[in-house]
Every structure is written in C-alpha cells, then in structure tokens.
Amino acid sequence: MTIRQALLNARDLFRNRGFETPFLDAVLLLSACTGLDKAKILASYGEELGKEAEDCFHEAVHRRLSGHPVSYILRRKEFYGLSFYVDERVLVPRPETEVLVETALRILKEDPSIHRIHDVCTGTGCIPISLAAHLPKAMPGREVEISASDLSEDALEVFQINCLRILGYVLPHRESDLLSQVEGPFDMITANPPYIATAEVDRMMASGWPEPRLALDGGEDGMMLIHRLIVQALERLRENGYLLLEGADSQAEAIQQRLYSQGYSTVEVIYDLAGRMRVVVGRKG
C-alpha cells in the first residue's frame, strides 16, 4: 500500500464517520507511524509503506474510528506553541483556552504588582506551564511564582510529566477540591473548570466519550463549580487581585452577575476568535 492509498482510505473512513478534519487526522496518525513530518508525507505519495508502519497505521485508524481523539492516540496535543502529553486521565487542551493564557499575559504586562499566580482544575497543566514557559521571554527579569491544583490525583501525575518535559522542573502543586486545600494569597487565580451540565455529560458518557467525567461535569446547570470558585477566590486573592475564568458563551452573563454580586469591583469579558464570550475576568476590591 502506498502512502497516498493509506491516507485516502483513512480519510474516507473518517469522513463517513463525520469527523471534522478527516484528512488532517489521517496525516497526523501516519506521521506518527512513519516518523515523517507532514510535508515529507505529502511529498512521498507514491512511496510504499513498510509493514511495520502499515500495521501501526491500521491500529491507529481503528482506534480513531472507535472514538479516541487523535491527541489520545498520539499522546500529545499542541497548545500555545508547546507540545503537551495527554492521555485518558485528563481533558485534551482546547485551542480556545489559549485566550485565557493570552489574557493572563496581557494583565501581567499591564500590572507589575502581580507576583503569585495559581491555576485551579489544572488538568494537563496547559495554563500554568504555558505561563511559566512564556514569561521569561515576554517579561525578562520578572519574577512570578506559579502554582497549580486539581482534585484528580491522576491529572496531577500528567501535570508533573508535562512540567518536566516542557519546563525541566515541577511547579508547586497540590491535590485540592478547587481552592479548599490551597493557601493564598495570590495576585491572580486562573481556572478552566468543568462547566458542562450533568445531563449533557450523561449523554456524552453514554455515547462513549473518552475524556474523564470529572473534567467535564459542572453540575446541574454547569455553573456549580464556577459559583463555588468565585466565592473561594475572594478569600485567596490579595486586594486588587484577578480571577480569570473560562466558561461557555451562554454562561458569560451569569458569571458576570455572580462576580458583581459577590463584590468583585470590575468585570471584563474576553471573546475568542469565533466571537464567542470565552473568558471572564473579575477583580477584587
């Protein structure tokens, strides 16, 4: 079988399943099995696949058709210019979460008083690790302590893998239900908490969704953890500290109202590239 035949066969199978990016999925899986980058694969259409690569590709295609995300199959996901290890213990980082990282970096540039940051529900660690990796270049000489927490011990194991692979050291972290076991004060708290309603998560799990329920389920209306975190953060933030929350577009107004009702002085909504409300920033004081 040639590279072209393998790609087109997989593309057609993925397209029939309704996958959003069937050809790209096929290229990424074949790249992993052959060790060739995308450009080399596309330039080698007529070459024959070796048996080992062909067997590997068939297995990868089967796993993709079984519902596994490409990121789980490859055990990696690109996020904010970095390659993160991922597996079934954690939520796969989404591109829209990069908006939260960009917002945090912007606020850091604008406010030199920020020296302590904590990320809640950290999962892979994509938010705090991205901040730690980009701060030295974005703000040379700036000293900022970054830490993280998660309720899942399994997720924290993945977090440590990513810290070592990307940073070369492990950021301070602890197992905690939101901020209950975390000591402040902090100048900034970031979070991409579970914010999908329980009923929707039930449907996802019934259909074979591979990501952990703990990373998805936000309670009856999807807002339970967000509400709790808004209250807890007030006790852990310094005066004029920032809380950055990711949520669904449909939740942004409710998040704003909750922040104001709890005494946050200013609230800002950040939109993603699709024009959806994605991040809400509340400031204490």
The phi, psi pair for 46, rounded to 5°, reads -85, -5
* pTM score, whole prediction: 0.92
Instruction: Share the mean pLDDT of the chain.
Output: 95
**What is the distance between the alpha carbons of residues 14 and 27, in angstroms, rounded to a whole number?**
12
Distance of CA 18 to the CA centre of its chain: 23
Least confident of 53-57, 183-187, 205-209: 205-209
Task: Give yes or no: residues 180 and 52 share one domain.
Answer: no
Query: The domain containing residue 128 runs over which residues?
Result: 77-284
Q: Answer yes or no: do 106 and 246 share one domain.
A: yes
Give residue 170's identity as a one-letter amino acid code: V
**Pairing mode, strands 264-271 and 277-284:** antiparallel
**Separation between Cα atoms, residue 56 and residue 245, nearest integer Å:** 40
Residue 208's identity, in one-letter code, is G
Is 51 in the same domain as 105? no
| The token pair that represents 228 in the structure block | 């709790």
Residues 89 and 142 in one domain: yes
CATH of the domain at 275: 3.40.50.150
pLDDT digits (tens, 9 = 90+) for 51-66: 999 999 999 999 999 8
Final residue of a domain: which of 49, 74, 99? 74
Mean pLDDT over 117-129 rounds to 98
Half-sphere exposure of 8 (CA within 13 A, CB side): 7
CATH code of residue 69 = 1.10.8.10
Q: Are residues 30 and 147 in the same domain?
A: no
Q: Are 142 and 162 part of one and the same domain?
A: yes
Check whether 285 has a pLDDT greater than 90: no
Boundary-marking domain end, from 28, 50, 74: 74
**DSSP code of residue 95:** G
**Total domains, the chain:** 2
Residues 50 and 177 grouped into a single domain: no
Q: Are 211 and 93 part of one and the same domain?
A: yes
Which tens digits make up the pLDDT trace of 147-177? 999 999 999 999 999 999 999 999 999 999 9
